[in-house]
């Protein structure tokens, strides 16, 4: 990345930080600001900035590391108390609504793009389904929205992409094998399963071992808060690299490491994961800026209306209907169920999955297609969820004011 580009990204980020409170009134989050800046500064025939993605192997590893750190932080920040208290709801969302959403995304893609191979459509479904609450972080923190809804949404957002990751890898392996001469799907799937197994083993070993040692060290007074934060940062890096060395997938290993170390984190300083979280925030914002150029690249030659229609359905009914169905019989009101179904923004995980699919699959055999649909889906999600965040919070706020007092 050119040094000037780094300067520009830092400047845009600093400007947003200075004006963040005012911009929040218009639901302009940091990811949205970085994306808009990226689109503006990389557009045109002679743009001020151009990013060269020529080193595909290096770029692929870079986006994998970003996703690995993101999955690790998500796993460590999932509140255990909420999981225990809302066990039934979380099980319904992840064990019921998520598979139904994946199936709906696949069937909808098959209806809109019947000329695409089945495995490519399966990959597409795993790309457009994962949640990312960052683009609508304001509504998740808004006190006007009932705390229970925000807590459930945070838990689902923290675990959703980690659950989808292995499914994405399986579908991608099968789709890649479909374009080879052998067409040995069984071998491709077995390789993907083996890769996932090594990832789980590496993540469990690093996460559980590091958690035990860090907890013991903190309890004995052998370490300091700053050193603890560094120690936590080293865990996803170690899990990623060990898994890669063993032939496993790095970002799945990082997620598993986060799940395994999370219980020990409750016995360490509250800000133990703060350094890792800040680094993830910085890296993902840089990725949002790069996403601006990807948007320009995909929109340069135009796009079909079928892609737009599919994207709209993918971020609305494809998720809303399964969530509404699986929450029937719970004590959530119709409005609350609709809120949980609607608030499913797409973001960094979809971008990374889409980029990895584009890098792994031939451009003429589904790679460009998945990338284009991913871009439009994320853009539609940012517009719909971003613009609706403040009205939804305002509606809940009015409901509280008019609710009868006991």
Question: 320-343: per-residue pLDDT in tens?
Answer: 999 999 999 899 999 999 999 998
> Per-residue confidence at 348, pLDDT binned at 50, 70, 90?
confident
28 inside domain: no
Yes or no: say if 282 and 237 are a contact pair by the CB < 8 Å rule. Answer: no
- Domain with 309, as residue range(s), is 56-402
pLDDT digits (tens, 9 = 90+) for 57-87: 667 778 888 888 988 988 888 777 888 888 8
CB half-sphere exposure, 357, CA atoms < 13 A: 37
379 inside domain: yes
**Whole-number Cα distances in Å, 248 to 240, 245, 262:** 9, 7, 22
Q: What is the pLDDT of residue 406?
A: 42
What value does the mean pLDDT take over residues 88-115?
94
45 inside domain: no
12 inside domain: no
Q: What is the pLDDT of residue 107?
A: 96
Residue indicated by tokens 């809940």: 396
What value does the mean pLDDT take over residues 11-22?
83
> Per-residue confidence at 236, pLDDT binned at 50, 70, 90?
very high
What value does the mean pLDDT take over residues 191-215?
89
* Lowest mean pLDDT segment, chosen from 168-182, 254-268, 360-374: 168-182
- The token pair at 243 is 């898994």
Yes or no: say if 168 and 67 are a contact pair by the CB < 8 Å rule. Answer: no
What value does the mean pLDDT take over residues 98-123?
94
- pLDDT greater than 50 at residue 303: yes
- pLDDT greater than 70 at residue 125: yes
226 inside domain: yes
Q: What is the CATH number of the domain that holds 109?
A: 1.20.1530
C-alpha span between 242 and 135 (Å, rounded): 32
94 inside domain: yes
Contacts of 325 (CB under 8 A, 6+ apart): 96, 97, 100
118 inside domain: yes
* Lowest mean pLDDT segment, chosen from 229-233, 260-264, 391-395: 391-395
The percentage of residues in the chain with a pLDDT greater than 70, rounded to a whole number, is 89
DSSP per-residue codes, 182-234:
S--HHHHHHHHHHHHHHHHHHHHHHHHHHHHHHHHHHHHT-S-HHHHHHHHHH
C-alpha span between 307 and 31 (Å, rounded): 23
Yes or no: say if 166 and 126 are a contact pair by the CB < 8 Å rule. Answer: no
Total domains, the chain:
1
Q: Supply the pTM of this predicted model.
A: 0.85
Task: Classify the C-alpha dihedral 308-313-319-320 as positive or negative.
Answer: positive
Contacts of 211 (CB under 8 A, 6+ apart): 260, 261, 262, 263, 264, 265
9 inside domain: no
C-alpha span between 397 and 164 (Å, rounded): 34
Q: What is the pLDDT of residue 405?
A: 47
- The token pair at 92 is 């319904």
């Amino acid at each position: 990345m050119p040094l000037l580009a780094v300067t520009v990204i830092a400047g845009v980020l600093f400007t947003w930080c200075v004006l963040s409170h005012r911009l929040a009134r218009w639901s302009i989050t940091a990811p949205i600001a970085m994306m808009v800046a990226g689109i503006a500064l990389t557009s045109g025939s002679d743009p001020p900035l151009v990013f060269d993605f020529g080193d595909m192997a290096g770029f692929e590893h870079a986006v994998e590391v970003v996703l690995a750190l993101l999955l690790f932080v998500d796993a460590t920040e999932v509140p255990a108390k909420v999981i225990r208290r809302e066990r039934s709801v979380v099980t319904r969302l992840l064990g019921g609504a998520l598979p139904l959403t994946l199936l709906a995304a696949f069937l909808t893609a098959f209806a809109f793009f019947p000329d695409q191979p089945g495995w490519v459509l399966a990959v597409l479904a795993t790309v457009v389904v994962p949640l990312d609450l960052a683009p609508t972080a304001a509504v998740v923190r808004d006190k006007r929205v009932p705390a229970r809804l925000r807590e459930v949404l945070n838990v689902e957002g923290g675990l959703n992409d980690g659950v989808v990751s292995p499914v994405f890898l399986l579908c991608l392996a099968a789709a890649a094998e479909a374009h080879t001469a052998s067409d040995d799907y069984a071998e491709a799937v077995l390789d993907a399963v083996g890769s996932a197994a090594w990832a789980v083993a590496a993540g469990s070993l690093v996460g559980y071992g590091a958690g035990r040692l860090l907890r013991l060290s903190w309890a004995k007074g052998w370490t300091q808060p700053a050193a603890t934060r560094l120690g936590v940062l080293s865990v996803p890096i170690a899990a990623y690299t060990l898994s890669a060395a063993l032939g496993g997938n790095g970002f799945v290993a990082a997620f598993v490491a986060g799940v395994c170390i999370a219980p020990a984190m409750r016995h360490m300083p509250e800000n133990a994961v703060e350094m890792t979280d800040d680094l993830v925030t910085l890296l993902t914002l840089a990725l949002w800026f790069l996403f601006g150029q990807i948007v320009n690249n995909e929109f340069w030659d135009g796009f079909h209306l079928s892609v737009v229609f599919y994207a709209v359905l993918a971020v609305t009914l494809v998720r809303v209907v399964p969530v509404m169905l699986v929450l029937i019989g719970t004590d959530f009101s119709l409005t609350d169920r609709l809120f949980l179904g609607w608030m499913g923004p797409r973001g960094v995980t979809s971008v990374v999955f889409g980029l990895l699919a584009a890098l792994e699959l031939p451009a003429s055999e589904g790679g460009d297609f998945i990338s284009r649909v991913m871009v439009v889906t994320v853009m539609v999600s940012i517009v719909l969820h971003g613009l609706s965040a403040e009205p939804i919070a305002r509606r809940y706020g009015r409901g509280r004011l008019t609710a009868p007092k006991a």
